[in-house]
Amino acid sequence: MNNLDNNLDSLEKPWYVWSKDKEYGEMLFKRAKGELEEMQSAKSFCQELAKIYEEGMSIADIGCGAGHYLLSLRKYIDENINYTGIDATEEYLNHAQNAFPNTDFHLGDIYDLDFKNESFDIVSCSNLLPYLPPPPAKAISELLRISKRYAILRVLIGERNYIVKTIRNSDMGLEASLENSLTYAEQEQTRFNYNNFYTKDFLAKLVTKLEPKASYKFVADDNWQDFDNSKLTTHTGTKVIAGKQVSGNLIFNWHYLIIDKKGELNQNA
């Protein structure tokens, strides 16, 4: 694992919750080791990747966590896949290195990736973009910059653009604000994560602006079996209810946004 020169302290914002969530990192590590079941999204990602992957292609996994997707990539795509994992949480990368020795993992900031233009044939980013501060333009521009050909982004689609904040420290900050006559936002202990939904139209316009010659398509991520992550994390962990992925009060409508910088994407593939 290479420690890059990026100043990751800048990521220590109220929305950057992963460094505080050690239990989640340990759960991802168990997935990477095969001690827990693969993520349904990892399996569905491999099904989409198989449509464009050719032997020898290099892939960068941005927001790789404990490298748990690599287990599925080796199982369903290519046991010798040319894989690089990048994440901003060093503890997760330590898990990844333990799970997959001799694999290339980097500490990196999605807003300033320390790789040259077109470094990888395929750049993937699953389960990260919805959790970043809006708008996603800078992050997506970096993903496209280091991609030679394809980008596969797993995003939450909404009928409107929704910016959602989920408070991570329960009622503690609210109670402190009452006691100290301060607003909730003024409490240092206030931590939250985003769960942002963007419309297809918004994301399509963004891709066209960033890569005018690119082609793209949206693929609904509906190829999964029933699961209940609340048993592994918290009571608001994502689970399937009546055929929909639900987290607390939120209904997650996951899609893959697949981009081909050469403009040759087969819309029907």
- Give yes or no for residue 5 having a pLDDT over 50: no
Residue among 192, 4, 190, 188 at smallest CA distance from 90: 4
Convert the pLDDT of each residue in 214-245 to its tens digit. Answer: 999 999 998 778 888 877 777 777 888 888 88
**Do the domain assignments include residue 166?**
no
Q: Give which of 79, 146, 81 is closest to 112, Cα–Cα.
A: 146
Residue 149: give the domain boundaries. Answer: 2-161+196-260
> For residue 169, what pLDDT band results from cuts at 50, 70 and 90?
low
pLDDT band at 2 (very low <50, low <70, confident <90, very high): very low
Query: Which residue did the predictor score with more confidence, 189 or 111?
Result: 111
Average pLDDT over every residue of 161-165: 95
Pick from 49-63, 101-115, 142-156, 167-181: least confident: 167-181
Answering whether pTM is above 0.85, one says yes
Weakest mean pLDDT among 47-51, 101-105, 245-249, 259-263: 245-249
Q: Residue 60's Cα: distance from chain center in Å?
A: 12
* Three-state SS at 148: strand
Is 227 part of any domain?
A: yes
- CB-based burial label for 96 (10 Å; 0-12, 13-18, 19+): buried
**Strands 165-167 and 192-194: what pairing?**
antiparallel
Nearest 5°: the CA angle 255, 205, 166 is 50
What is the mean pLDDT of the segment spanning 77-106?
A: 97
Asked, for residue 180, whether it belongs to a domain, the answer is no
Tell whether 167 is covered by a domain: no
Does any domain span residue 190? no
Domain count for the chain = 1
Report, as an integer, the average pLDDT of 195-211. Answer: 98
User: What span, in angstroms and rounded, lies between the C-alpha atoms of 240 and 66?
Assistant: 24
- State the CATH number of the domain containing residue 201: 3.40.50.150
Confidence check: pLDDT of 254 > 90: yes
Examine the pLDDT at 125 and tell me if it is beyond 80. Answer: yes
Q: Which phi and psi angles does 176 have, rounded to 5°?
A: -65, -35
**Average pLDDT rounded to a whole number, residues 78-99:** 97
Is the confidence at residue 6, as pLDDT, over 80?
A: no
The three-state secondary structure class of 10 is: helix
pLDDT at residue 11, rounded to an integer: 45
Tell me if 107 is assigned to some domain: yes
What radius of gyration do the chain's Cα atoms show? 18
Confirm whether 191 is domain-assigned.
no
What pLDDT sits at residue 238?
85
169, two tokens: 């420290």
Report the DSSP pairing between strands 215-220 and 254-260: antiparallel
Query: Which carries the bigger pLDDT value, residue 74 or residue 243?
Result: 74
The answer as to whether 247 is a domain residue is: yes
User: Using the 8-state DSSP alphabet, how is residue 18 labeled?
Assistant: G
Mean pLDDT of 134-159: 98
SS3 label, residue 81: coil
